[in-house]
Amino acid sequence: MIYFDNSATTAVCREAADKAYYMMTECWGNPSSLHKVGFEAEKELNRARDIIADKLGCDSSEVYFTSGGTEADNLAIFGGADARKRRGNRVVTTAIEHSAVLAACRQLEKMGYKVIYLKPDDSGQIPDADIYNAITKDTILVSMMSVNNETGLMLPLQTVSNAIKRSGAPALFHVDNVQGFGKTKINIKKLGIDLMSISAHKIHGPKGVGALFMAKKARINPRTFGGLQEKQIRPGTEPIPAVCAFGEAVRVLPDEREELETITAIRDKLRTALCEMPDIVMNSREDAFPYILNFSCGKVRSETMLHFLSERGISVSSGSACSKSKPSHVLEAMGFNHDRIDSSIRVSFSRYNTLEEVDEFVKVLREGLDNLQQRK
């Protein structure tokens, strides 16, 4: 099997799986309980928080565990907007965000907030001038992803930081870093990031757990209410096996720069081969994040090609796993026509992929293009 759909989810690494099993069978206490079993669980919880905070480059007190990236995004957006609503009602985001951000922003609009959706230009990037024009003095929240989950576009976070400072806006700066965390370093303090969402299952950890970084100087209002866990920002008994497995997945992450070199070599080899095929059109920029490569297959619909590849043991996708086969809003925002969008394929890599897999993928893809286009 060749698994090239790592932006959707990754295989759980052995270290994370072993840690989850240990926490379920040996250290299964409630970390809020005031006895030895509870203390041991609390110790493991704190260890996981410390590991993740170290990777983020923040204090452990700034890490709040959630059920995943979607909850972290929602907590940041709704909680941040609600906390700043007396200082304005303007929210700025982009038209190519993950659905967890876009759906939350559309709900904010129904609640009376004014939301600005920045669109990419002909090159596929969000223009700096548009960012400066959008962030005004009454902006209370800016939400921009670090890496687009469909095309690998790396968004201009530094420009956002500069624009917020120049405008004098009371805006909280939220970054959805689900695709970038553990793969590239982002200096939270230098960029003035207030909130950052991350998820375990994109870095070989388990599904169902993520985290929200919230800077000490920032304040958001909670969305759920209950106990004192996570300083009441996200109450509820922590899922200790998943949280600790998350920490273990982070602990064993390879060096970002070395891993990036390996992934870049894989991406470049595939991109070169694809560019030699007359029916292939690239949707990812040349300077896109190497972990993701998006292209279109001429006259062959994505769904048809996905089935062809899957039958031959190759797993890829047509875009975000959360879209459930709906047309890509990202490619639509980039101005691509229906046929190009309808034939798009996303390939995404992890440290378990190899250069040899690229050769096999290219071979099978060529077969698919030849066979499926002939049928049409």
Residue among 58, 105, 275, 322 flagged as catalytic: 322
Sheet architecture: strand order including 195-199: 63-66, 210-214, 195-199, 172-176, 139-145, 90-94, 114-118
322 is catalytic: yes
Q: How far apart are CA 89 and CA 115, in angstroms?
A: 8
Among candidates 96, 68, 87, which has minimal Cα distance to 156? 96
Backbone dihedral angles phi then psi of residue 225, each to the nearest 5 degrees:
-135, 145
| CB-based contact 171:139 (threshold 8 Å) | yes
The residue to which tokens 């034939």 are assigned? 343
Q: Specify the long-range contacts of residues 356-364, CB closer than 8 Å, at least 24 apart.
A: 357/2, 357/4, 357/266, 358/266, 358/269, 358/270, 358/273, 360/2, 360/314, 361/2, 361/4, 361/270, 361/314, 362/270, 362/273, 362/274, 364/308, 364/309, 364/312, 364/314
* Amino acid letter for position 306: L
Catalytic residues: 322
